[in-house]
Amino acid sequence: MPKQLNQDSPFLPQGNSRSYGDSCMLQGGTVLSTRFMNRFIEFDVGTGLMRCEAGVTLADILAVAEPQGWFLPVTPGTKFATVGGSIANDVHGKNHHVEGTFGCHVTQFELLRTDGSARVCSPTENAEWFAATLGGLGLTGFITWAEIQLKKVPNSAVNVENIKYRNLAEFFALSEESEEKFEYTVAWVDCLASGNQLGRGHFSRANHARPTQPKPSAPKLKLDMPVDPPVSMVNSLSLKAFNWLYYNRQRERVSYQTTHYDPFFYPLDHVHNWNRMYGPKGFLQYQCVIPMENSEAAITELLQRIGYANYGSFLAVLKVFGDVPSPALNSFPRPGTTLALDFPYKGLQTMHLFDQLDEVVVQAGGALYPAKDAHMKAEHFKSFYPNAEKLESFRDPNITSSFWQRVMESNL
């Protein structure tokens, strides 16, 4: 990386572009990929402290650490995110209620600014820069390397209980009951179900297996979407069929399985180019979090509005976040329930639906996730993230993103 960047147009650091929206993009500027900054610097097998360059992916870390009994303390649903990207979005995983966000496990990193200055940041050294950079959307500078405290696990395999539940009330009861005994919880929602089955789905809860349990091997089968179909394969017919089959894939109420960690944490990573099934127009994600006290009413309303709009998603995920505080100045996860959905992009129809969903999120005191966003309004962003102006004061003057321009620099 050059010592000092002298160009007229702005820059943006980019990891592996696994963010769904425009927070990892910069129209009219230069995106600097950190993917080739992918070397390990130090790994203490005794303590689990790992230092690596920011472009190292979570998959790279697992490849080195897992055979030594160490695991990622927090992982998003893709192992192809980089360390830099995971810090900049302060990502969360299925164990948020136990371990909080990725930022909770970062012990230090180096931040390089475009004026050539570099500072090591940690909770005790340059602490304000540390907090601003966690969840800082890449705006405070380039993270060149980071140190993470990995987690010792008895076995990287997971014992999973999969529970077929009948409605939202059952989802919340299962979440509450599972919070203490299970490290990982998440639910798939059949968002086409309505009436007294609204919110039905499959609730998965899991813990790492015991040390003596045999480790299942990693699945070899990788699926591929080798071509771009001319139209989206996700339509009301295919959605109905998929959701029905998926909900009924399990006859019994509860099933038990010991599985390799990979298909449990990263199911989509097994389908190469899965995004192609949405056709040339692609898709948008919508991920919100709703405070606990309003969760059931607001999630009901969101699912109803999606149903009335005759829209659907087969990747609909519900999870209750815990209250472990993040050290980040701005972070998406907060106590409450998060709902994430993928929608095939249908132009104005999609935007109209998102406006309707936003109304519910705003009224319920919730927030949207920048890493999954391509539509959030500036006024909403500022209300969801009251420290946005403070982040702006830490922003490198030569760095911005299409997302930041949309939510902070436009009056839309």
Ligand X SMILES: Cc1cc2nc3c(=O)[nH]c(=O)nc-3n(C[C@H](O)[C@H](O)[C@H](O)COP(=O)(O)OP(=O)(O)OC[C@H]3O[C@@H](n4cnc5c(N)ncnc54)[C@H](O)[C@@H]3O)c2cc1C
Question: Where do contacts with ligand X occur on this chain (CB under 6 A)?
Answer: 12-19, 23-24, 34, 54, 76-78, 81-82, 84-86, 88-89, 91-93, 137-138, 142-143, 268, 371, 401
Q: How far is the CB of 350 from ligand X (least distance, A)?
A: 19
Q: How far is the CB of 54 from ligand X (least distance, A)?
A: 3
Q: How far is the CB of 74 from ligand X (least distance, A)?
A: 9
Longest dimension (CA), the chain: 63
Give the Cα separation of 55 and 116 in Å (integer).
Answer: 19
Pick 162 or 338: Cβ nearer ligand X: 338
HEC states along 153-190? CCCCCEEEEEEEECCHHHHHHHHHHHCCCCCEEEEEEC
Pick 29 or 84: Cβ nearer ligand X: 84
For residue 342 the two structure tokens come to 């993928």
Q: How far is the CB of 100 from ligand X (least distance, A)?
A: 12
Q: How far is the CB of 341 from ligand X (least distance, A)?
A: 13
Pick 353 or 371: Cβ nearer ligand X: 371
Pick 23 or 156: Cβ nearer ligand X: 23
256: β partners: 161
DSSP labels, 210-225: PTTSPPPPPP---EE-
Pick 43 or 142: Cβ nearer ligand X: 142
CA angle 46, 82, 142 (to 5 degrees): 100
Q: How far is the CB of 17 from ligand X (least distance, A)?
A: 4
Pick 13 or 312: Cβ nearer ligand X: 13
Give the Cα separation of 83 and 363 in Å (integer).
Answer: 34
Contacts for 348 with CB less than 8 Å, ≥ 6 apart = none
Pick 16 or 198: Cβ nearer ligand X: 16
Contact by Cβ (8 Å): 316, 339 = yes
Q: How far is the CB of 195 from ligand X (least distance, A)?
A: 30
Q: How far is the CB of 36 from ligand X (least distance, A)?
A: 11
Going by C-alpha positions, the residue among 205, 199, 198, 200 that lies closest to residue 175 is 205
CB atoms within 10 A of CB 281: 13
Pick 63 or 268: Cβ nearer ligand X: 268
Give the Cα separation of 88 and 242 in Å (integer).
Answer: 34
Helix residue spans in 179-318 (DSSP H): 236-247, 261-265, 292-308
Q: Judging by DSSP bridges, how do beta strands 367-368 and 336-344 pair with one another?
A: unpaired
Q: How far is the CB of 114 from ligand X (least distance, A)?
A: 12
Pick 88 or 239: Cβ nearer ligand X: 88
Q: How far is the CB of 214 from ligand X (least distance, A)?
A: 28
Give the Cα separation of 303 and 286 in Å (integer).
Answer: 12
Pick 76 or 336: Cβ nearer ligand X: 76
Phi/psi at 62 (5° precision)? -60, -40
For residue 387 the two structure tokens come to 């420290």
Q: How far is the CB of 118 from ligand X (least distance, A)?
A: 12
Half-sphere exposure of 293 (CA within 13 A, CB side): 3
Pick 84 or 198: Cβ nearer ligand X: 84
Give the Cα separation of 332 and 320 in Å (integer).
Answer: 13
Residues 17-50: b if buried by 16+ CB within 10 A, e if exposed: ebbbbbbbbbeebeebebeebeeeeebeeeebbb
